[in-house]
C-alpha cells in the first residue's frame, strides 16, 4: 500500500480556508521571462484571473485540458477587473496576453454572442526570437481588427 499524502493546509495569509477556494500557480521561470517582463501590470493581473478561472472550472470546454471560458460577467462582475466604461481595456489586455504567447483564442464568441474560449500556450518561451509567431486565427476579434498595442515582434499575416 502506498503512503497517503496529506492534503495541503492553506495558511491564514493565503486563504480564508474555504474548501472551494482555488489557487493558481505562476512559476518563477515565467515571471522572469522577457514576455512576462514586457506585460503591463493590468495584463499580469488579467493573466492571474485567467489562471484562477482555469482552475475553478471543473468541466473544460471541448474536453480540452488547456482551455477555459471567459465572459464579461466573470471579468466585470465577479473579479471586478474592468467596468463597462473600460471594457475595451479588457480586449486590449487579452490581445496583449495573446501577442506575448501566453494564450490563444480557441473560439471567439464575438459573432455568436457566446463565451469566448481561450487556451493556454507555451509560445511565451520563444518570445523575442525569430521562432515567435502569432497567427491571426489565434487572436480575439478585437485583435484581428487592430485593437491591440503595437508590438515589436513579427506577426503572421494572411
- Asked whether residue 157 carries a pLDDT value surpassing 80, the answer given is no
| Residue 72: domain span | 40-144
Whole-number pLDDT of residue 151: 45
Task: Look up residue 48 and give its three cell numbers.
Answer: 492571474
Whole-number pLDDT of residue 150: 44
Residue 102: which of 49, 28, 36 has the closest Cα? 36
- Report d(CA 122, CA 32) in Å as an integer: 15
Mean pLDDT of the chain: 82
Q: Is residue 68 part of a domain?
A: yes
Q: Is residue 63 part of a domain?
A: yes
- Asked whether residue 59 carries a pLDDT value surpassing 90, the answer given is no
**Confidence grade of residue 137 (pLDDT, cut at 50, 70, 90):** confident
- Report d(CA 65, CA 119) in Å as an integer: 9
If one compares 45 and 24, the residue with the highest pLDDT of the two is 45
Q: Is residue 14 part of a domain?
A: no
Whole-number pLDDT of residue 155: 47
Q: What are the pLDDT digits (tens) for 61-104?
A: 778 888 888 888 888 888 888 888 888 898 899 999 999 999 99
Residue 99: which of 68, 66, 143 has the closest Cα? 143
The pLDDT of 147-151, averaged and rounded, is 44
If one compares 91 and 2, the residue with the highest pLDDT of the two is 91
- Report d(CA 79, CA 38) in Å as an integer: 23
Q: Is residue 44 part of a domain?
A: yes
Q: Is residue 108 part of a domain?
A: yes
Structural domain count, the chain: 1
- Asked whether residue 4 carries a pLDDT value surpassing 50, the answer given is yes
Q: Provide the 3-class DSSP secondary structure of residue 102.
A: coil
Amino acid at each position: 500500500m502506498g503512503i497517503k499524502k496529506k492534503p495541503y493546509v492553506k495558511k491564514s495569509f493565503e486563504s480564508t480556508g474555504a474548501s472551494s477556494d482555488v489557487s493558481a500557480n505562476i512559476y518563477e521561470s515565467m515571471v522572469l521571462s522577457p514576455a512576462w517582463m514586457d506585460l503591463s501590470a493590468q495584463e499580469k493581473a488579467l493573466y492571474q484571473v485567467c489562471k484562477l478561472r482555469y482552475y475553478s472550472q471543473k468541466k473544460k470546454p471541448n474536453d480540452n485540458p488547456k482551455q477555459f471560458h471567459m465572459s464579461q460577467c466573470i471579468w466585470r462582475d465577479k473579479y471586478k477587473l474592468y467596468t463597462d466604461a473600460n471594457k475595451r481595456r479588457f480586449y486590449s489586455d487579452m490581445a496583449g496576453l495573446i501577442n506575448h504567447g501566453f494564450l490563444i483564442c480557441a473560439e471567439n464568441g464575438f459573432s455568436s454572442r457566446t463565451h469566448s474560449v481561450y487556451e493556454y500556450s507555451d509560445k511565451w518561451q520563444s518570445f523575442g526570437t525569430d521562432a515567435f509567431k502569432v497567427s491571426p486565427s489565434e487572436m480575439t476579434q478585437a485583435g484581428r481588427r487592430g485593437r491591440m498595442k503595437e508590438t515589436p515582434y513579427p506577426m503572421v499575416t494572411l
